[in-house]
């Protein structure tokens, strides 16, 4: 009897210890064909009640239930599209190191205004026990599906090394790919990706409460574009992605992306997995203006003026600039479209990420501007 009691007492500490264990994210938790996963976008000005991004470590509590959806989209994942070049490049029979386990219809990482006429874009991924990586892109050019692969297998973009669990070593990778459309243009991108698993615990969003692992990714990109013999290379501001992943969810439950400006991190986007929600629009969006609005240069320094290119016939316009917490930097009115010049003096000494809203009688369009 005494022996049985002693064994029972020894077993008691084991139960809570098992509960306090980091989740382990494996290949089974990556996207698979036929996944259709709804995502909500929230405002980049985070509610005051949410925890700071600096919260890290074991057995944490991250409560983001105060996020409010401002837009929704759907992440879709499919089998390899039945196009001859895609099958040869990414299919299981012939592709070798370029083999993909899943494809996703999504935009290629082209700079704004890049003159490469691609439709029906895809990104191709491979999930293995060792990692989850991007193995290439694809798109339709002049009616033909054209695959784009990385320069070599050791230059593919390794998104995660698996399994992911708190305590895993930091990892980094470098990737390189290029797109060349004869007679049109050329684009290449060099990327350095550094992943750090810095915490685990309970994550709450409007979608629910989960045990999650947090991965912080630093992205350093350098793009090169060539058009009509003119080459231009530019470094993208360093970004950080704070991603919370949970077992069985296939995509991050929450992703907060920041841009590093003047040595400071500023929130650039907030996305979280969600169910369907009715979005309340606070202002009418002008789709035509949104698609045609161009800002240049971006990023810009404190000495340069900012030029907005607005479609002719837009009518009277009001341009408002605010910082990320909503403080107004300036407001200017214009009689019509064309190239609108915003003098550097309007920004004063402001440095960081500014939000530009262009309002006309038909609605509103917006852009982010980085001032270094």
Taken in order 6, 7, 8, 13, is the CA torsion positive or negative?
positive
DSSP 39-95: EEEE-SS--TTSPPTT--EEEEEEE-TT--EEEEEEEE-BSPPS-HHHHHHHSTTT-
Buried b (16+ CB within 10 A) or exposed e, 322-332: bebeeeebbee
Q: By mean pLDDT, which of 55-59, 73-77, 204-208, 347-351 is the weakest? A: 347-351
Are 311 and 292 a contacting pair, CB within 8 Å?
Answer: yes
How far apart are the C-alpha atoms of 20 and 78, rounded to whole Å? Answer: 36
Of 284, 285, 286, 343, whose CA–CA distance to 313 is shortest?
A: 286
Comparing 8-17, 34-43, 306-315, 321-330, which segment has the lowest mean pLDDT? 8-17
pLDDT the model gives residue 15: 35
Could you give the 3-state DSSP secondary structure of residue 28?
A: helix
Helix (H, G, I), strand (E, B) or coil at 112: coil
What local confidence, expressed as pLDDT, does residue 6 receive?
A: 46
Tell me the backbone φ, ψ of residue 88, rounded to 5 degrees: -70, -35
Task: Please indicate whether residue 245 or residue 41 has the higher confidence score (pLDDT).
Answer: 245
For residue 160, the cross-strand partners are: 132
Burial letters for 242-263: b for 16+ Cβ neighbours within 10 Å, e otherwise? bbbbbeebbbbbbbbbbbebee
Average pLDDT over residues 94-120: 80
3-state secondary structure of 349: coil
Instruction: Return the pLDDT at 8.
Output: 46
Residue at token pair 């982010």: 368
Residue 85 CA to residue 83 CA, distance in Å, equals 6
Q: For position 148, what pLDDT does the model report?
A: 92
pLDDT in the model for residue 78: 97
Compute the distance between CA of residue 269 and CA of residue 40 in angstroms, rounded to an integer. 11
Which position has the token pair 């607005």?
310
| Of 285 and 276, the one with more pLDDT | 276
At 196 the three-state DSSP class reads strand
Q: In whole angstroms, what is the distance from residue 118 CA to residue 147 CA? A: 11
Whole-number Å distance between alpha carbons of 90 and 33? 14
- Is the pLDDT at 183 greater than 70, yes or no? no
Terminal-residue alpha carbon distance, the chain: 75
pLDDT digits (tens, 9 = 90+) for 121-158: 999 999 999 999 999 999 988 888 989 999 999 999 99
**Residue 150 confidence (pLDDT):** 96
pLDDT of residue 214: 98
Measured distance CA(344)–CA(232) in Å, rounded: 24
Tell me 29's DSSP state: G
CA atoms within 13 A on the CB side of 308: 32
Instruction: Name the band, by pLDDT with cuts 50, 70 and 90, for residue 264.
Output: confident
Mean pLDDT of 77-96: 91
pLDDT of the residue at 19? 42
What is the model's pLDDT at position 185? 72
pLDDT tens, residue by residue, 303-324: 888 888 887 777 788 888 887 6
Distance CA 13, CA 23 (A): 20
Average pLDDT over residues 169-180: 92
Dist CA 200 CA 61 (whole Å): 8
* C-alpha neighbours within 13 Å on the C-beta side of residue 46: 20
| Cα distance between residue 205 and residue 272, in whole Å | 8
pLDDT for res 39:
94
pTM of this prediction?
0.74
**What percent of the chain is predicted at pLDDT more than 90?**
46
Quote the pLDDT of residue 111: 60
Of 9 and 78, more confident: 78
pLDDT of residue 200: 98
Taking CA 351 as the corner, what is the angle to CA 193 and CA 269, rounded to the nearest 5 degrees?
Answer: 45
Q: Taking 60 as the threshold, does the pLDDT of residue 113 lie above it? A: no
Per-domain boundaries in the chain? 27-273, 287-371
What Å distances lie between residue 304 and 136, 296, 299, 345, CA to CA? Answer: 37, 10, 10, 9
Q: Which CATH class is domain 287-371?
A: mainly beta
Who has greater pLDDT, 169 or 118?
A: 169
Give the whole-angstrom CA distance, residue 185 versus residue 200. 44
Structural tokens at position 114 = 């890049």
If you average pLDDT over every residue of the chain, what do you get? 85
Whether residue 9 has pLDDT greater than 50: no
Strands (E) across 274-351 are located at: 294-296, 306-310, 317-322, 328-334, 338-342
* Top-ranked range on mean pLDDT: pick from 15-24, 59-68, 274-283: 59-68
């Amino acid at each position: 009897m005494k022996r049985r009691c002693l064994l029972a007492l020894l077993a008691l500490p084991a139960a809570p210890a098992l509960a306090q264990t980091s989740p382990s994210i494996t290949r089974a938790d990556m996207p698979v064909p036929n996944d259709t996963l709804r995502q909500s976008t929230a405002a980049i000005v985070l509610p005051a009640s949410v925890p700071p991004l600096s919260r890290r470590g074991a057995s944490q509590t991250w409560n983001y239930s105060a996020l409010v959806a401002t837009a929704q989209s759907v992440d879709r994942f499919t089998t390899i599209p039945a196009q001859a070049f895609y099958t040869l490049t990414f299919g299981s029979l012939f592709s070798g190191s370029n083999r993909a386990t899943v494809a996703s219809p999504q935009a290629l990482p082209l700079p704004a205004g890049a003159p490469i006429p691609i439709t029906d874009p895809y990104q191709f991924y491979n999930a293995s026990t060792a990692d989850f990586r991007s193995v290439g892109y694809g798109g339709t050019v002049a009616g033909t599906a054209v695959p784009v692969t990385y320069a070599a297998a050791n230059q593919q973009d390794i998104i995660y090394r698996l399994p992911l669990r708190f305590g895993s070593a930091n990892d980094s990778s470098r990737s390189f790919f290029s797109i060349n459309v004869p007679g049109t243009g050329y684009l290449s991108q060099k990327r350095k990706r550094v992943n750090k698993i810095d915490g685990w615990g309970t994550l709450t969003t409007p979608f629910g409460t989960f045990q999650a692992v947090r991965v912080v990714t630093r992205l350093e990109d350098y793009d090169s574009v060539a058009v009509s013999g003119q080459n231009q290379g530019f470094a993208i501001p360093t970004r950080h992605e704070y991603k919370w992943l949970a077992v069985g969810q296939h995509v991050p439950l929450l992703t907060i992306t920041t841009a590093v400006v003047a040595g400071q991190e500023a929130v650039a986007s907030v996305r979280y997995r969600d169910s369907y929600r009715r979005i309340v629009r606070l202002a009418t969006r002008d789709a035509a203006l949104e698609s045609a609005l161009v800002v240049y240069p971006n990023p810009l320094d404190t000495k340069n003026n900012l030029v907005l290119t607005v479609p002719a016939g837009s009518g009277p316009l009001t341009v408002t600039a605010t910082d990320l917490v909503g403080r107004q930097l300036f407001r200017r009115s214009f009689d019509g479209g064309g190239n609108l010049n915003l003098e550097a003096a309007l920004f004063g000494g402001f440095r960081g990420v500014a939000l530009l809203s262009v309002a006309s009688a038909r609605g509103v369009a917006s852009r982010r501007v980085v001032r270094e």
